[in-house]
Structure formats: structure tokens, C-alpha cells
Chains A and B, each alone.
Chain A
Amino acid sequence: MHNIVSIGKQSSVSIRDLSLSFGSVTVLENLNLDIRDGEFLVLLGSSGCGKSTLLNCIAGLLEPTEGQIFIKDRNVTWEEPKDRGIGMVFQSYALYPQMTVEKNLSFGLQVAKVPKDEIDRRVARAAGILQIEPLLKRKPAELSGGQRQRVAIGRALVRDVDVFLFDEPLSNLDAKLRSELRVEIKRLHQSLENTMIYVTHDQIEALTLADRIAIMKSGVIQQLDDPVIIYNRPKNRFVAGFIGSPSMNFLTGELVEEGGRVVFRTNNVSFSLDGYDASEPLRAGRKVILGVRPEHIKVDGDIQGGEVHEAVVDIEEPMGADNLLWLKHAGHTMSVRIGGARRYAVGTNVRLAFDMTMASLFDAETEDRI
């Protein structure tokens, strides 16, 4: 995998102790981040979490209050955007409306006084990669949303930069186009092998594109990891709840000792924690939250051993390929994902078992993973 290969290589973008505040509002707080050369890093978070602000800082469009930014080991904290070796793609495409596609692509090179034939060569190359040659003479207003975004990517491409910055590039597109362009961006990354930093609030984009994901909340990176690890071993309750749809089931309770073993107990019902890979010894008496994803709760025929509980079907939501059951048990309502062909009537009694190897336990107070 890409990120494993690139370990040991020099870092492409490094952020050291970065803080940014507007007046009394702190947007980024003491943030550190190392992005490896050739890595595809996704900054994921809901709006207002600081992810776009961080990207703008890297681009040089915002000046940090505190801290330093390095690109290719060069300190660029105070440099102009154009001198940082970056290209940027915006959510609203930001194409210059009065210029043709060709002019849009070449504007930056013209400003940099690149020789004419070099400009032509680079524009032709970018247009070839993105397959927008037929559009070169058109104005942005005559293009579709997908074509516009392609041109916007092209504008970053012609600049021959080390780092690509994407600021929610697909958010203005409809679902179908979005998944098409998502694949294209992934292909582009595979062929160019540039470093890419991609900001989004869409977890599907993050999970599909990223070598590593940085999940942000209130200006702080909550977890920076491989998508699979983020999904399966979330560092805290926020990350666990943010990633995954439908969301992870959370049961609040307590660790108690029963028959010599520590179990999870909620509303007087005990759940065995056999198979859970704890990072620290589980002590009885600790208030905790147990998190289980809908697909990690097994129902009836899927159960392959382990502790079995009885539950009642509350609501059934058929979703085609999957069927989502809302089950009532131990005073909680939890969602369970089963095959689309298996149907249950409301009120039916079912048996369920938690796959504890895939579950997460969080401290109730710190909300950190145990």
C-alpha cells in the first residue's frame, strides 16, 4: 500500500504547532501534522471544524497566528501562495468567468511569465490527461458542473506542483457525477503520485480516496490513520460516531465483575467482553460506553457462537441490498444490518450476538478508546 511504501521517505508537508484564531475565536489549536510524500490525505470533519481553514493556511491564503508550515522541507509559513509549489481546486470551481477554458488554464503561467510554447505544452498535457481538449475554446458558463470541475483540476495540473489541495471539490455535484469524478481523482493520484490534501465532509469520499484520514473537530485532529483502522478502531467516541452510516450503536454502562471475569453491564443486562482487544486492563467499576457497528451485531442464523441475547424487532427499514433492523434490548434501541432478503415483522423476537472482536469500548468520561 502506498502509505506503507512511503514510510521513511521525506515528508511532503509538515505542520508544526499551528494555531489560528480570529479575535477571541480559536479555529485551529496547536496542530501538528506530517504528510508523507505522494500521500493522499483527507481532512474530514463537519462544517466549522477547521478543515478548510487548515487547507487555506497550507495554501497561504490565511496567515496562522502561531506555528510553522513546511512544504518539501522548506519553511513556507510566510510565503506567498504562488511560491509554495501548490495547486488548489475549489468547491465552487472558481473558474474565471470571462476567460475561455484555455485562458483559465494558462492564466497562472502567464502571470509567472512562462514562455509561450511551454504554456501551450503544459495546457495540452493537462487537457489530455483530463480529456477536456474539445472544451478549450469555451467559456466556463458553457460547461457542465463536471466539466467545470475538470477544468479546475486542470488549472492545478498545469502548474506542475508538488502538492495538490482540494477544498470539497465534489460537493457541488450531484451524486452520480460525484462518484464518477471520485474515481477519476483516485486514478489521477495513482498516475501522478503527487501529494494530495483533500478536504471533505463526506465520509464515503474520505474512506474511498484516502491513504490516511485526519478527522477533525473544533480545530483539533482527533485521529490520523488508515481508513480501515479509523473505521474499525476509532480512537474516541467522536470518531466512532462520525464515521459509518447508519451510525455505530452506543450503549452506556459499567464494567462489573461476574464470575471472575469483567463484563459490560447496562440496565441490569450483562454482555460478555470475550474477544475484545483492550489496550489496557479492564477494571471493574469503570463507567464506559460500548460501541458496536450495525454490521457487527449478528442475528439468528448469522450467529456463530458467543453469548446470545433476546431482542424484539421495533422497526424494519429495508434498503435494498441491506435490511436495517431496529432492535429493542436491555433498554436500548440498536440498529442491526442484515441481508436484504431476510425480512422480519415488527414485534418478532430475535436472537442477537455482538461480535466483540470488532466492538469498541470508550471511557464514559474522557470518551477515549480503552
Chain B
Amino acid sequence: MAAHAPTGRPNQLFRNLNAKIASIPMMLVALVIFLGGTIWTVFYSFTNSRLLPRLNFVGFDQYERLWASSRWIISIQNLAIYGILSLIFSLVIGFMLAALMDQKIRFENTFRTIFLYPFALSFIVTGLVWQWMLNPEFGVQSVIRSLGWTSFAFDPLYNPDIVIYGILIAALWQGTGLVMCLMLAGLRGIDEDIWKAARVDGIPMWKTYLLIIIPMMRPVFITTLVIIASGIVKVYDLVVAQTSGGPGNASEVPAKYVYDYMFQAQNLGQGFAASTMMLLTVAIIVVPWAYLEFGGRKRG
């Protein structure tokens, strides 16, 4: 028998070298842009950079200025109102549409196509259509007035108090189709025997939904919630197209604040501080979810 001489492990760096080379773009993006870029922005939010980023640290000055700015406060308030309402309405409307679609109806595909098509459109297109729809001279308000209700008033885009609701309407029109689709997929994932069992037990349909189906769909709801929520924080184009932040600055949002300070007002430090606040908001939403979703799975 020949001598079976053991050999050592070859250098691991060169194993599957092609796979590693092919993954370089992914690694670069993950490290340089996503990780590095985020750290860079947070870092520079503590400087007084204006036209160009400069390493002149001023502590929390930018944040103090940010929270003292009435425009930022309005932006945050708007985001809160818009965020909470759009979460509630899109989940409720999306789920109700999905439940209706799940009743063994005819033309299911047609209905789904109709509910979902706005999602294919950009926020710019959405904003502009609804700007026109809500135009007080020609739009919904004037049509209803011409029907005889002459005192009817609904002009959100010209009324600072309710302008955010005008944006909400447009956003719901654009986004509820997606929520419906996700919810419908969730409903279809539920064992048909559950329905049979509930029926045998004589539980009314609405109670079955409320007490059995919705609790079973918890993962779907959570995932949908995270998707909607991270979209809400990013809302920008819609406001630009529909109101440009007006009237006055009644419909400003944080993402627009960041853009304006970074690229128009040439006050980078403010932009960085504001974007860091956005990051914080997202972290508050995503971290607990990621912990539940992935951290919990590892233990289980």
C-alpha cells in the first residue's frame, strides 16, 4: 500500500475564488455604501459643514437647530399624522378588499388588476393626478358644488390645516392595492379546514375573521406593516409633485427637508442631522421587527 501522506488545507482565500470575485460588487455596496455611507453621514451630522463636508465638530448644535426649526417640527408632525393614518387606513382597506376578494368571486383577476394598477405608477404621476382631482376650481369640490351643494368645501391642497390629508388620499389610492395583494396572499395561505371547522362550530363569519383569521395572519400583518412603514419614512416625490410642500410649508416632510438642505440651501450639516433623525425613526421600526423575525427564529 502506498504511503498515505496527509496534506494540509490549502489557502482558504483562493478557494472558490471566482465566487468571491463575483461577489465584490455586493461586498463593496454593503460595506462602502450601506455601512460606510451611513456611518459617514451620522459622523458628519456633528459638524458644521455647509457647502462642502468639513470636519469641524460642533457637537449636537445641528440637532438643536433642527429641533428649533418650525419647518422641521411641521415635517415631523406631518410625518406622524400621515404615517399613523396611512398605516391604519391601508391595513384596514387593504384587508377588507382582500377579504371581499376571497369570497370565491367572479372576475377576481379584473378586480385585482384594477386595485393594483396605481401601484405601477410613480409618486410623481400619482401626485399630479390628485393635484388635478383636488383642484378646487375644477375638481371634486366644484363638481359637488355644481350638483347643488354650494357650500361644500374640500380643498386640501389649498388649506394648510388639511393639506396632509390630501396627500394621504393620493398615497392610499396608490398603495392600498399592494396591501390588498399581500393580505390576499396571507388569506390564501390559511388552511381551508379552518373555515370548515369554524362553520361547523357555528361561528359567524365576521367573528371568524376577527378571532381566528387575523390572529393567524400575524406574520403577514407584521411584514406588511414594516413594508408600509419604511415606505412612509421615505415619502418625498409625492409631496414634491402634489404640493411642493405648500401651501407655505404646511405639507413639508422630513425627506424633503433633507434634500432641500443638502442640495439647495447648501447647509449639509442640517441635512445630515435631519437624515440621521430619519435613520433613527426607521431603526425604531425595523430593529424590534428584525429582532422578532430573525432573532426569535434562531432561538426556536
Residues of A within 8 A of B (CB): 10-11, 14, 16, 68, 70, 73, 75, 77-78
**Quick one: which of A10, A11, A16, A73 contacts B6, CB cutoff 8 A?**
A16
Query: By the criterion CB–CB under 8 Å, are A14 and B4 in contact?
Result: yes
**20 interchain pairs, CB-CB under 8 A:** A10-B1, A10-B2, A11-B1, A16-B4, A16-B6, A68-B4, A68-B6, A68-B7, A70-B4, A73-B1, A73-B2, A73-B4, A75-B4, A75-B5, A75-B7, A77-B6, A77-B7, A78-B7, A78-B9, A78-B10
Interface of B, helix, strand, loop or mixed by DSSP: loop
A14 to B2 Cα, complex, angstroms = 11
Q: In the assembled complex, which residues on chain A have CB atoms less than 8 Å from the CB atom of B9?
A: 78
Q: Whose C-beta in chain B lies nearest to the C-beta of A34?
A: B1
A16 to B3 Cα, complex, angstroms = 12
A77 to B7 Cα, complex, angstroms = 8
Q: In the assembled complex, which residues on chain A have CB atoms less than 8 Å from the CB atom of B7?
A: 68, 75, 77-78
Query: By the criterion CB–CB under 8 Å, are A75 and B1 in contact?
Result: no
Q: Whose C-beta in chain A lies nearest to the C-beta of B2?
A: A73
Residues of B within 8 A of A (CB): 1-2, 4-7, 9-10
A68 to B8 Cα, complex, angstroms = 9
Q: Whose C-beta in chain A lies nearest to the C-beta of B8?
A: A78
A10 to B9 Cα, complex, angstroms = 26
A75 to B8 Cα, complex, angstroms = 11
Known: A75-B4, A77-B7. 12 other contacts (CB 8 A): A10-B2, A14-B4, A16-B4, A68-B4, A68-B6, A70-B4, A73-B2, A73-B4, A75-B6, A75-B7, A78-B9, A78-B10
Q: In the assembled complex, which residues on chain A have CB atoms less than 8 Å from the CB atom of B1?
A: 10-11, 73
B8 to chain A, nearest CB (A): 8
Q: In the assembled complex, which residues on chain B have CB atoms less than 8 Å from the CB atom of A75?
A: 4-7
Q: In the assembled complex, which residues on chain A have CB atoms less than 8 Å from the CB atom of B10?
A: 78
A70 to B2 Cα, complex, angstroms = 10
B235 to chain A, nearest CB (A): 42
A11 to B4 Cα, complex, angstroms = 11
Q: Whose C-beta in chain A lies nearest to the C-beta of B3?
A: A73
Among all A-B residue pairs, the 10 with the closest Cβ atoms: A73-B2, A68-B6, A78-B10, A75-B7, A70-B4, A14-B4, A77-B7, A16-B4, A78-B7, A75-B5
Q: Whose C-beta in chain A lies nearest to the C-beta of B10?
A: A78
A77 to B6 Cα, complex, angstroms = 9
Residue from B4, B5, B10 whose CB has the most chain A CB atoms within 10 Å: B4
Q: In the assembled complex, which residues on chain B have CB atoms less than 8 Å from the CB atom of A77?
A: 6-7
A70 to B9 Cα, complex, angstroms = 14
